[in-house]
Structure formats: C-alpha cells, structure tokens
Amino acid sequence: MLATRMSRKLLITAGASLAVAGLLAGCTAGTAENTGPDESTVEGNEATGDTITIGFSGPAADHGWLGAINNAAIAEAKKYPDINLVVAEGTNDANLQISQVETFINDKVDAIVLLPTDGAALTEVAIQAMNAGIPVINVDREFSSTFAARVTILGDNYGMGVSAGTYICEQLGDNPDAIVAEIAGIDSLPLTQARSEGFAKALGDCGLKVSNRVAADFTVAGGEAVTSQLLSAAPKIDAIWNHDDDQGVGVLAAIAASGRNEFFLVGGAGSANAMREIKSGTSVLKATVIYPSTQAADGIRLARLVVQGKALSDLVEIEVPTRIVLNAPVVTADNVEQYIGSAFES
C-alpha cells in the first residue's frame, strides 16, 4: 500500500515537471528552424547533416562522476561525422570557465554545451552567447536565468532524495521508531539541499525522519571522516542514505573499520563499484539511486539537433524541449544487471 502511494506521488511530481517544461517552452526563444513531425524520425536525426562545431566546457574531472560526464560527452561526439567538438580544459575556476565561453563566442562556434562550475557565475556569459545566436545547452548545474540556455538538461536531485526515502520507507515503514541517518554532500550546494529536501519529504510520508545527519565533500577522505563521526555519535542506526557513491568509497571504509552491520546503506549517483557491492549480497550497501552521468553526452546530441533544426523523434512537438529532467531510479540486487553495464567507476 505504501509503495503504491509513493509511486503515485512520484508520477504526480514527474507530471508537474513536464508541465513546467511546457510553460518554459512557450516563453523561451529558440534558434532552431522548425521541422515538421513527419521529418522527426530516428533515421532523419541520425542522418549526417552539415558539419557543426560544438564547444564543450565542464569542471575539472576530480571526481569519478565528473570524469564519466566528460568522457561520455567526447565519446558521443565521435559517433557523429558532422560534429567537430572543441573541448576546453576542465576547471573549477569560474573566471577561467567564463573566458573559455568567451573564446567559443569569439570563434563563432555553432553551439555550446556547458556544465558550469557555478551556474550563477556563468549565467551572464551564457546570455552573451545566446544573444550572439549561439544556442547554449546547460548541463547539471542551472543558470540563474532562463535566457541563458536554449536547453537545460538535469539530473533529478530532489527526485534522488525521494527515491532514496521511498526505498527506505519500503524497508522500514512498519517501524515508526526506526533511526535513519543521512550522509550528505556539500551543504552549500543547491543540489545537496534539493536531495535532502526530497529525502525528508519521502520519509515524512511514512512517518520517519532523519535522526542523524552529517555532510561530507564528495571525496573519499571526506566520506570516511564524517562517517566515522556519525557512527561514534549514533550507537544504533537502522538505515543510512549516502548522497554520493564516490564519497561512498570512504563511507564503506569507515563502516568496515567500525565492525557495525546492524543497518543497511543506500548510495547515490550509481557507480559501478557500488553496484558490484550491491550485487555481491554480502555488503551493507543494498541499493543506490542513479544520478545519470550521461547528461553532457545527452547535451551533445541535443546541441546537434537544435543547430540542425531537428527535433526529438519520439515527440510530436516540432522543436527540442527547453528543459529535460532525467529519472532517478533505485538500483537493487533485483535490477542491478540492467544498470551496471553503463555505470561509471569511482
């Protein structure tokens, strides 16, 4: 009964996201030439068109998920003979990334795929690109203005929290006194805040709450340090949600060192090593929530469609949508084989 109620809530949330995307599509200018629905076919989209130059800029690949983002984008571009991909050096310096985008503008690239190190800081230069007639595909971290991007493609951070909380509710929902802990990422980031909000909301729907919470920094060392603190402070825990499988390497190390196993652990992002732990059946890690590392690769495809005046072949709509939010499914031992082949390594 609980699972049915939670599933219904997820469907309602997804419907609301699509409705918002539709509203944005009506008020955001696009640069692509309209294409009739009859022409928006898989074959038509895959057919080689005029060669286009796409500029790609993202943060430094100092994290397994970010490395996978960059590698997937480059690999996707190589599939299309009509894409000339120009890759800027990965950086966590917003000012350097701004200069990279300015270079793309000066070089008159056809489109820019941008995973900003800081969405707010990169908003102004993205608007400059849009004003220069260069469509910007915003990946993962949102700009602060809808005028800064032709398309925004995101993972569902709030949905990750909902998925993790729903899974824990399904396991512990008949125990209102269950102790649930949370190991977050960087608390100052909106994505972390959204994950925690979704998690608290889903737990609340089955009468549970977060009893103990710590925040790490998306690193192995940070995950290990804060998990050691958590385990020392909480003598009993029934379930833990860790936001990030990269820092989860450290989380699992701290748990192993503690010798405790009275709880189960849920991960986040969907790394291959986390999935192997789940598949083993011997770990406290029983599930992880996907945060797709395909976002920049999807951005490359969308940039190509926009510039070449094409649309998504599975939609009747004649232009690429302005906003796409990817799903956040839960991976368990029951479905791990479906996801492990495309997972990233932490």
Ordered structural domains, the chain, with CATH: 31-155+293-315 (3.40.50.2300), 157-291+331-342 (3.40.50.2300)
Instruction: Report residue 67 CA to chain centroid gap.
Output: 13
What's residue 29's pLDDT?
38
Distance CA 83, CA 320 (A): 18
What's residue 14's pLDDT?
38
What's residue 134's pLDDT?
98
Q: What is the pTM of this model?
A: 0.83
Q: Which residues contact 200 (CB under 8 A, 6 or more apart)?
A: 161, 165, 209, 210
Q: Which residues contact 93 (CB under 8 A, 6 or more apart)?
A: 117
Distance CA 335, CA 202 (A): 22
The count of other CB atoms within 10 Å of the CB of residue 272 is 18
Report yes or no: 247 and 185 within 8 Å, Cβ to Cβ.
Answer: yes
Residue ranges for the chain with pLDDT beneath 50: 1-38
Tens-place pLDDT, residues 293-344: 999 999 999 999 999 999 998 888 889 999 999 999 999 999 999 999 999 9
What's residue 217's pLDDT?
93
